[in-house]
Structure 1
Amino acid sequence: MQRGLVVCVVGTRPEAVKLAPIVLALKDHPRLAPLLVSTGQHRELVGEALADFALAPDIDLELMRVAQRPVDLLAAALPRLADLYAARRPAAVVVQGDTISALAAAQAAALTGTPLVHVEAGLRSGDVTAPFPEEHNRRLIAQLADRHFAPTSSARDALLREGIAADTIEVTGNTGIDALRIIEHSLDTAGDKTRSMLPRLDAARPLLVVTAHRRENHGAPLVRIAAALAELAVNDGVEIVLPVHPHPAVEAAFAPLASVPYIHLVPPLSYPAFIGLLRRATAVLTDSGGVQEEAPALGVPALVLRDVTERDEGLATGNARLVGTETATIVAATRALLDDRILLARMSEPALPYGAGHAAPRIVASLDRLFGRVQARAELFEYA
C-alpha cells in the first residue's frame, strides 16, 4: 500500500528542532511518510539543526537572501509551496509555530485545498505587536488550519476563545520537549563532547547563558540588554556566554561586549552544544520561546527579556520571570536571583509545564486517524 505523504515545512532552526521528532516518527510509520521541505529562511542554521537528528531536507527551496524582509520571503515562498502541494497532492501539510515560513506554508495549503496541521497551536501573548510578527502569524495560521495540536490546556483555551471548533483541537504537549529528551539522551549515552566548543569558564563563578535576538528587541532594547550584561560581568563577576544570532542588528548591539571581562560572545551553537551549555547554567536570560520551554525541564531559572510572553505556564510553575528589557530591571532581577539561595533553589526545581516529551507520537497517531478521511478534499479545488 502506498504511504500517505505528509509534507513538513521548516524555515528556521526552532522549527527544525520541533518538527524533527515528528519527522522521525513518520519515517517509521507504516501508512504515512514524511516529505521534509526547507524554505531556506535560515538555511545554514536549519541544515545544522536537522543534522543533529540525522535528518536533511528532501527539498530545499533555497529562498534565503541577504537582508531579506519578511514580506519578500512570504512573496517568494507562497507560489513555490503552492506548486509543490499541487504536484505532490499530500495527505496533509504540517507547520510549526509562527514564522513567515509557517505562514506561507499555511496560506499555500489553503489555496490548494490541502489539509493543514498546526503544531504548537494556540500560543498567545495577547499583544499583536509582541512578539512581532509571530503573534500576527500564528493567529492567521489558526484560521487556516484543519487540525490544531495545542501544547498545553491554556493554548487550547485560547483557540476556543477565538472560535476554533473544539473537535479540531488536541492537547499533545510540546514537541520541543521531545527534541530536548532526544538530545539529552545522546549527550548522556555518547558522552557530552560539546564542552570543547565552548570557552573556558570559571566553575567557581555563576554562569549566565543569554539568548536575545527577537525582532521586537532590535535597536534600543538590545542595547539596554547589552548594558545590563556588561554591568553584571564587571561588577558581579558572573560568567556570561552569549551565542550571537547572525542578524546585523543583533551583532551590532552586542559587538561592544567583546572586550568585557567574563563575557564570551560565541557563534550560534549546535543544538546539542546549546543544551549542554544550558545544563551547566546557573540561570538563563532569554527572549526565546523555545528556551522558555527547555529551561523548566532542565531545572534552569529563566529570566525572560520581554514584557509579555505566550508561555505563561513557566511563570505559573515559578521557573520563569518576566524582566523586560530595561537595564536596571534586568540587573536587579539577576542579582535578586543569584543572591537569594531559597529563590534560586525554587526556580531551579525541574518542572514539565510543556509536557514530558511524548508529543510527537501523539501527533502522528492523530494524523494516522485522520489520513484518508481528509485526503479527497483536495479534489474540490482547482489550482493553476
Structure 2
Amino acid sequence: MNRLRPLLIVGTRPEAIKMSPVIKECRDRPREIDAIVCSTGQHREMLQQVADYFEIKIDLDLGLMRPNQTLAGLTARCLTGLEDAINKYNPDCVVAQGDTTTVMAASLAAFYHRIPFVHVEAGLRTGDLQAPWPEEMNRRVAGIVADLHCAPTQRAADALLSEGTRPDIVQVSGNTVIDALLWTVARERNNAEQWEEKYAFLQDRRMVLITGHRRENFGGGFENICQAISTLAADFPETDFVYPVHLNPNVQAPVKSVLGALSNVHLVAPAPYPEFVWLMDRSSVILTDSGGVQEEAPSLKKPVLVMRDTTERPEAVESGAVELVGTSIEAITQGVSTLLSDAAEYSKRQIDDNPYGDGRAARRIVDGMLAMSWQSTQTLRRAG
C-alpha cells in the first residue's frame, strides 16, 4: 500500500501548537503516512519552543522571518519558499491550520501546483475583512481552494456550507488546540514547582492574566487597554495582573509607558506554551485579544473577556464563557470588576462542556485525510 505523503506546514507559534496533535497523529501511523513537516519560520524562535516541547521534528525550515518585514514581502517569500518545498517533496496533499500569512500562502502554493489542500480550523468567519485584519482575508482565501475543510464546530461547518462548499468535503473535527491543551495542562500540573517558584510573587492572591497583540488595536486601542488595566490595578490592589508582553514595538511602547511602574502589574516576557498554559490554569480571569485563548480557557473553567469588537468564535460567547468588551476603557474595567466582585456571575461563566472539542480532533482529521483519494485527485488535477 502506498503511504500518504502530506506536507504539514507551520509558521507561527499558535499554528505549531494547533498542528502538533495532527503531526503527532500522522507520525504515530508510519505504515499509512509519510509525513513531512515544513516551517516557514514566521515566528521562528517561539515556534521552535513548541516543536521541542511536543517533540516535533521539523524536516524543512524556510527561515523567512525578517526584521520589520511587510506583509507583502512575507507573503512573497512564503509563496516562493513553499513552491520549493512542494517541488522537493512532491506531497500528496498540503495541510495547514488557521488564518496566518503562512496558511494563505500554503493554500495558494498548493492550488498553483494542483495539489489538494487540507484546511485545519476551517470555516471561522466574522464577516468583516477588517476585523481581524488580515486574518479574515487569509482564511477566506484558504477556504476557497481547500479540498478538505476540517471545521472545529458545526457553526463553522455551516458557514462553509452557506458559502457553497460541497458537503462531502466538510467535516466537523473539533479544534486541535483542545487536544494540545489537555495534554499540556496534565503535564504542567505535575510539573508545577518550577512555575510556582518563578511566580512566587503571586503568593496566594488572585491573578488576572492579560494578552494583547492584535494589529487592529495598535495605537488608540492599546492606549485604552493600558488605561483600563491601570484603573483596575488601582481598584483591586490585592489582585495581581500578569501581562506577558508581545515583542512588537507597537505593543511594548504603550504597555511599558502606562503600566511599567505599577506594583501589582507584572510585565513579563512572552511565555513559552507550557508556561502560558500554567498561567491560564493559575489565573482567575483572562483578558485577551487572542483567538486561541477563547477556545482554550473554557476547558479550564476560566472566564474570558475579549478586547475585540467581533469574534470568529461566537460559540464561546453563546456558552457564557466569553464576553466581548472591545477596547472601551469603561467596558473593560466594568467587565473585569464584575468577575472579580460577583461570585454568582463568575460561577455562571464556568461551563462544563467546551464547544471547541473533546481532545480527539487530530484523530478525526487524520482519519479524514486517509479517507480521501488524494493520489488520484492529484493526478486528475495535474492532468487538467
- With the length of structure 2 as denominator, give the TM-score of the two structures: 0.96
Alignment correspondent of 1:52: 53
How much has 1:89 moved relative to structure 2? 1.4
**What is the distance in 2 between the residues matched to 1:195 and 1:135?**
38
Indicate the SS of the match to 2:375: coil
CA offset digits 1:142-190 (Å, max 9, x no partner) = 0011110000000011111111111110000000000101112222445
User: Against the structure 1 CA distance between its residues 299 and 161, is the aligned structure 2 distance closer, same or farther, given a 3 Å change threshold?
Assistant: same
1:213-224 equivalence runs, <5 A: 213-224=213-224
CA offset digits 1:236-290 (Å, max 9, x no partner) = 2221001111111111121121211100111111111111111111110011000
Alignment correspondent of 2:208: 208
Indicate the SS of the match to 2:276: helix
Question: Contact conserved, 2:4 with 2:370, CA < 8 A, in 1?
Answer: no
Aligned equivalent of 2:382, options 376, 379, 383: 379
Alignment correspondent of 1:147: 148
Alignment correspondent of 2:120: 119
How much has 1:336 moved relative to structure 2? 1.6
User: Against the structure 1 CA distance between its residues 75 and 269, is the aligned structure 2 distance closer, same or farther, given a 3 Å change threshold?
Assistant: same
Which has the larger displacement, 181-190 or 139-148? 181-190
- With the length of structure 1 as denominator, give the TM-score of the two structures: 0.96
Which has the larger displacement, 294-303 or 230-239? 230-239
Alignment correspondent of 2:168: 167
User: Against the structure 1 CA distance between its residues 210 and 60, is the aligned structure 2 distance closer, same or farther, given a 3 Å change threshold?
Assistant: same
Question: Contact conserved, 1:8 with 1:93, CA < 8 A, in 2?
Answer: yes
Question: Contact conserved, 2:189 with 2:278, CA < 8 A, in 1?
Answer: no
**What is the distance in 2 between the residues matched to 1:7 and 1:357?**
23
Alignment correspondent of 2:335: 333
User: Against the structure 1 CA distance between its residues 69 and 250, is the aligned structure 2 distance closer, same or farther, given a 3 Å change threshold?
Assistant: same
**What is the distance in 1 between the residues matched to 2:284 and 2:234?**
17
Which has the larger displacement, 136-145 or 2-11? 2-11
Question: Contact conserved, 1:7 with 1:36, CA < 8 A, in 2?
Answer: yes
How much has 1:31 moved relative to structure 2? 1.1
Alignment correspondent of 1:5: 5
Indicate the SS of the match to 1:374: helix
User: Against the structure 1 CA distance between its residues 332 and 105, is the aligned structure 2 distance closer, same or farther, given a 3 Å change threshold?
Assistant: same
Alignment correspondent of 1:225: 225
**What is the distance in 2 between the residues matched to 1:230 and 1:351?**
34
Q: Percent identity?
A: 41
Alignment correspondent of 2:311: 309
Alignment correspondent of 1:80: 81
How much has 1:24 moved relative to structure 2? 0.3
Indicate the SS of the match to 2:83: helix
User: Against the structure 1 CA distance between its residues 320 and 251, is the aligned structure 2 distance closer, same or farther, given a 3 Å change threshold?
Assistant: same
Aligned equivalent of 2:365, options 363, 366, 373: 363
Which has the larger displacement, 179-188 or 318-327? 179-188
User: Against the structure 1 CA distance between its residues 199 and 141, is the aligned structure 2 distance closer, same or farther, given a 3 Å change threshold?
Assistant: farther
Alignment correspondent of 2:265: 263
CA offset digits 1:329-348 (Å, max 9, x no partner) = 11111112211110101112
**What is the distance in 1 between the residues matched to 2:57 and 2:245?**
24
**What is the distance in 2 between the residues matched to 1:141 and 1:55?**
25
Alignment correspondent of 2:137: 136
Alignment correspondent of 2:19: 19
Question: Contact conserved, 1:114 with 1:377, CA < 8 A, in 2?
Answer: no
**What is the distance in 1 between the residues matched to 2:37 and 2:381?**
20
**What is the distance in 2 between the residues matched to 1:154 and 1:197?**
40
Question: Contact conserved, 1:283 with 1:302, CA < 8 A, in 2?
Answer: yes
Indicate the SS of the match to 1:81: helix
Indicate the SS of the match to 2:202: coil
Q: Which runs of 4+ in 1 moved over 6 A?
A: none
User: Against the structure 1 CA distance between its residues 199 and 229, is the aligned structure 2 distance closer, same or farther, given a 3 Å change threshold?
Assistant: farther
- Residue 4 of structure 1 aligns to which amino acid in structure 2? L
Alignment correspondent of 2:323: 321
Indicate the SS of the match to 1:8: strand
- Residue 112 of structure 2 aligns to which amino acid in structure 1? L
RMSD, aligned CA: 1.4
**Which blocks of at least 5 consecutive residues in structure 2 are unaligned?**
none
Which has the larger displacement, 191-200 or 354-363? 191-200
**What is the distance in 1 between the residues matched to 2:4 and 2:39?**
20
Indicate the SS of the match to 2:96: strand
**What is the distance in 1 between the residues matched to 2:241 and 2:353?**
24
Q: Is structure 2 residue 35 aligned with structure 1 residue 31?
A: no
User: Against the structure 1 CA distance between its residues 22 and 331, is the aligned structure 2 distance closer, same or farther, given a 3 Å change threshold?
Assistant: same
- Residue 95 of structure 1 aligns to which amino acid in structure 2? A
1:64-75 equivalence runs, <5 A: 64-75=65-76
